[in-house]
Structure 1
Amino acid sequence: MHDAPRIATPGGRGRDPSTRRSLAALFLAQAASTSALTTSVSLSSIVATHITGSASASGLPATINLVVASLAAFLAGLGMARFGRKAGMFTGYVVGAVGAGLGCVFALTHNFPGFLLGSALVGMAQAVVLQGRYAAADFVSAEWRGRAVGVILFGAVVGAAVAAGLAPLLQQVAAQSGLDAIELGWGQSALLLAVGALCIALLFRNPRVVGSETAGQLRLSEFLAAAGEPSVRLGVFYLVVSQAVMVMLMSLFPIHALHHGHQLGTISAIITVHIAGMYALAWLTGGLVDRFGAAAIGSAGGFMLFGGALLSAWETSALGIGLALYLIGLGWNFCFVTGSALLAKNLEAGIRTRFEGTADVLVWLCAGATTLGGGVLIGVYDYPVVGLMGGLAATGLLLLTGFTWSRLHQPAPAS
């Protein structure tokens, strides 16, 4: 039987009520926001196509969202190192609520530049919301950080259930008002982000480990020195590749589904299945990383990403696309939790928050670049080319895992 998780503060008081409240706040905030954000960003490709009349613009809102998220991740890392996790996370949730509200208004009025502005502000929130996994890891000792990351990400499953429960009400309001449910869904995202902000404001306290950092920008020499550690470098690659592949395919598959005659209800159901793949087993994945090691769980995730990407390129049926998106979500889960755990376990406390924020810059930038490029490719060649790109990226991640694992386990030279 395992002992209770220990807090990463002097004394390790695992039963500290304020710590329990803080972890509950992170879980509830994650539940309130992540599903809403995932759904709204996924459907932004359809909104963009409706407004502009061109599928070539389908990837633009998600790309702007992700590029802004990269900048926000960098600033959030600096801000949280200086002012604490609470201030940074609360600010991110509030900005996201405002952005989702604006996105709803501008989508309903068919104002594309305004909708892009809303997407950009939601991107700021996405970067901050995902850093909640690191905030949870700060409360526990190193051997429990994989579990902490996974449990917080699992909150999105609760959020998906809430969003699914609200869907009939949203459809009813849309029908009665004569408005489009997709656009109104952005308003629902605004409300849920506001709930997340309240959870952080009322229940969360800063973990003391953050206060041990030296505030200020992470110097390039510090970043490169930390990234020189093979486990840290592999962790960054897991985060970057899994996020880039997942976001690209998640954001662009609705266009593929529409081209093959699937309606909004079917697309929404596939997104729900995808979210279940991303988060339903997150509570378990962290423990698997802690028990079996990063290489085993990360490789399993890489194979899932590979299979899901290729399946999404070939399949046109709702069942086939749904299975593909589930595998992509589950592969992301395994890879993303693995990467997050590798950083949380192997970075020194003095640079951890700033390094994590800087690494997330790469995560969001690469996801934005692949989504923008994928949108252009869909306009020229159609979706299967995008699926093949995802499969190639997953193959590269698997090769890197094998190379790093072999380097770490080379026999010591004979003396």
Structure 2
Amino acid sequence: MTADTAITPAQENAIARRNALLYATCQAFGGAAAPLNFALGAIAGSYLLGPDKGLATAPVTGYTLGVALGALPAAMLMRAVGRKRGFMAGALIGIGGLLFATWALTVHSFWLFCAALMVNGVSGAFVQQYRFAAADRGQMDFKAKAISWVLVGGIAAAVLGPQTVIHTKDLLLPVPFAGAFLSGVALLLASLVVMLFLAPSTPLPPAADGSAPHTGRPLGEILRQPRFAVAVLCGTAAYALMSLVMTAAPLAMIGCGFTAEESTLGIQWHVLAMFVPSFFTGSLIARYGKARIVATGLIILVACAVVALLGVELAHFWGALVLLGIGWNFGFIGATAMLTEAYRPEEKGKAQGANDFILFGTVALASFASGQLLNAWGWDSVNAIIFPVVLVSLGALLWLARLERKAAVAAG
């Protein structure tokens, strides 16, 4: 810690850039497990169920619920043992979950498969911490870029995950899809190798009187801050809407007569659209501000719903999924950058964990509701949900802007 206090801002940003590149590589391999689970979760769930397909998206819900349940423990574990050891633990959990999913498919058990994807979700909670880990270092004006750089690793994940599905889903026939989950183990093993190059985290220093490190304000006080609350709302809205539509899309495409390969390619284009904008999202945030980029992302989500409601040709599905990914990118990265301004360094563990618990708990509900909406009222009903949620989120952004403008005038 003493050495860190003497380095220049340029040196600090150089350290942050190296960290961001390593975390981006981890994202490429470890993050590839997420599109694998999303691409196959509902389809494999449908295969394991009987004639009633209403619970087909439950495995995907299990995954997102696992992310929610793992959010706080992941953040707390990293606070206790450091980022490097924490991320390695998360990868090992993911390897166990993928092996569990392979076995569940082999014994043709729907509920064991749901449980396995929940374990994969717990591992995914650690992956979600990459973006926050990248923002641990660097000057304030670099943090949005660092978050964006890490998510660039999602471009490789967007290719690796779906391509793993396409090329290995029949590897263990006559059990369909099991080969893809078994092959996913290799992706997490690769991420473990990259983690070996991460520098061990430096723990928080003790207080001046030698007592335990100060942990900052109570969590309730942090949550009540307007900027924190609006950042959580907008980030949650962007992610939950993305999950709602993406989870239903493979089933909707197959229901309209398209193949599993076409459905998986649609998810690949979607995940690419989620991460390709990360090349410039950080720069856009620096130029136009976080709130404007979040608002732009929310408006793009509305465009996604409009395209999806125009028809059920393959172009409508793929076009909507691409817009869904871009809207998520702007909304989620912008909201994450807003969030990093609403807590102090010593509060990051509980603040980040609380954010991810709220976010992924809502995402889990969205993915579960997705299957129910699709089964009961069809594809149009899934997309119609976007309009009111975006309206509320945009209203919250306007309220925050007015509140902060009044505070600035009062201050001076």
TM norm. shorter chain > 0.5: yes
Residue of structure 2 in register with 1:211 after alignment: 204
After the TM superposition, which residues 184-223 of structure 1 pair with which residues of structure 2 at under 5 Å, given as runs? 184-200=179-195, 202-208=196-202, 211-212=204-205, 222-223=218-219
After the TM superposition, which residues 16-165 of structure 1 pair with which residues of structure 2 at under 5 Å, given as runs? 22-53=19-50, 54-163=52-161
Structure 2 CA distance, aligned partners of 1:277 and 1:269?
Answer: 12
Instruction: List per-residue Cα deviations over 1:306-329 (Å, max 9, x = no partner).
Output: 221343244311111111111111
Alignment pair present for 1:346 and 2:339: no
Residue of structure 2 in register with 1:234 after alignment: 230
Structure 1 CA distance, aligned partners of 2:63 and 2:373?
Answer: 19
Q: Is the 8 Å Cα contact of residues 212 and 350 (structure 1) preserved in structure 2?
A: no
- Partner amino acid for 2:360? W
Residue of structure 1 in register with 2:277 after alignment: 281
SS class of match (1:409): helix
Q: Is the 8 Å Cα contact of residues 164 and 184 (structure 2) preserved in structure 1?
A: no
Instruction: List per-residue Cα deviations over 1:277-316 (Å, max 9, x = no partner).
Output: 1001113112211221011101100001122134324431
1:143 Cα offset (Å): 1.1
1:55 Cα offset (Å): 2.1
- Partner amino acid for 1:192? L
1:82–1:171 CA distance, 2 compared to 1 (3 A): closer
Residue of structure 2 in register with 1:331 after alignment: 327
Structure 2 CA distance, aligned partners of 1:132 and 1:213?
Answer: 25
Instruction: List per-residue Cα deviations over 1:354-408 (Å, max 9, x = no partner).
Output: 2101110001100111221222222221221111113321222112112211222
1:29 Cα offset (Å): 1.1
SS class of match (1:261): coil
1:167 Cα offset (Å): 5.8
1:121 Cα offset (Å): 0.7
Instruction: List per-residue Cα deviations over 1:251-275 (Å, max 9, x = no partner).
Output: 1111111111010111011101100
SS class of match (1:55): coil
After the TM superposition, which residues 240-279 of structure 1 pair with which residues of structure 2 at under 5 Å, given as runs? 240-279=236-275
- Partner amino acid for 2:20? L
Structure 2 CA distance, aligned partners of 1:112 and 1:217?
Answer: 46
Structure 2 CA distance, aligned partners of 1:179 and 1:217?
Answer: 53
1:413–1:113 CA distance, 2 compared to 1 (3 A): closer
Structure 2 CA distance, aligned partners of 1:29 and 1:362?
Answer: 24
- Partner amino acid for 2:240? A
1:276 Cα offset (Å): 1.1
1:110–1:171 CA distance, 2 compared to 1 (3 A): closer
Structure 2 CA distance, aligned partners of 1:374 and 1:386?
Answer: 6
Aligned residues: 403
- Partner amino acid for 2:198? F
1:124 Cα offset (Å): 0.5
Alignment pair present for 1:412 and 2:409: yes
- Partner amino acid for 1:204? L
Q: Quick check: 71-80 or 387-396, which moved more? A: 387-396
SS class of match (2:335): helix
Structure 2 CA distance, aligned partners of 1:366 and 1:218?
Answer: 27
Q: Is the 8 Å Cα contact of residues 285 and 293 (structure 2) preserved in structure 1?
A: yes
1:14 Cα offset (Å): 5.0
Tell me the TM-score normalised to structure 1 length.
0.89
Structure 1 CA distance, aligned partners of 2:409 and 2:159?
Answer: 51
Q: Percent identity, please.
A: 20
- Partner amino acid for 2:284? L
In the alignment, structure 2 segments of 5+ residues that lack a partner are none
- Partner amino acid for 2:184? S
Structure 2 CA distance, aligned partners of 1:185 and 1:389?
Answer: 32
SS class of match (1:265): helix
Q: Is the 8 Å Cα contact of residues 286 and 341 (structure 1) preserved in structure 2?
A: no
1:41 Cα offset (Å): 2.2
Residue of structure 2 aligned with 1:384, choices 356, 359, 380: 380
Structure 2 CA distance, aligned partners of 1:229 and 1:9?
Answer: 29
Structure 2 CA distance, aligned partners of 1:90 and 1:35?
Answer: 16
- Partner amino acid for 1:371? S
Q: Is the 8 Å Cα contact of residues 151 and 283 (structure 1) preserved in structure 2?
A: yes
Q: Quick check: 328-337 or 68-77, which moved more? A: 68-77
Tell me the TM-score normalised to structure 2 length.
0.90
- Partner amino acid for 1:157? I
- Partner amino acid for 1:116? C
SS class of match (1:412): helix
1:390–1:172 CA distance, 2 compared to 1 (3 A): same
Structure 1 CA distance, aligned partners of 2:192 and 2:284?
Answer: 31
1:28 Cα offset (Å): 1.2
Q: Is the 8 Å Cα contact of residues 313 and 386 (structure 1) preserved in structure 2?
A: no
CA RMSD across the alignment: 2.7
1:10–1:359 CA distance, 2 compared to 1 (3 A): farther
1:145 Cα offset (Å): 0.5
1:145–1:254 CA distance, 2 compared to 1 (3 A): same
Structure 2 CA distance, aligned partners of 1:55 and 1:217?
Answer: 51
Instruction: List per-residue Cα deviations over 1:229-269 (Å, max 9, x = no partner).
Output: 33222211122111111112111111111111010111011
Residue of structure 2 in register with 1:183 after alignment: 178
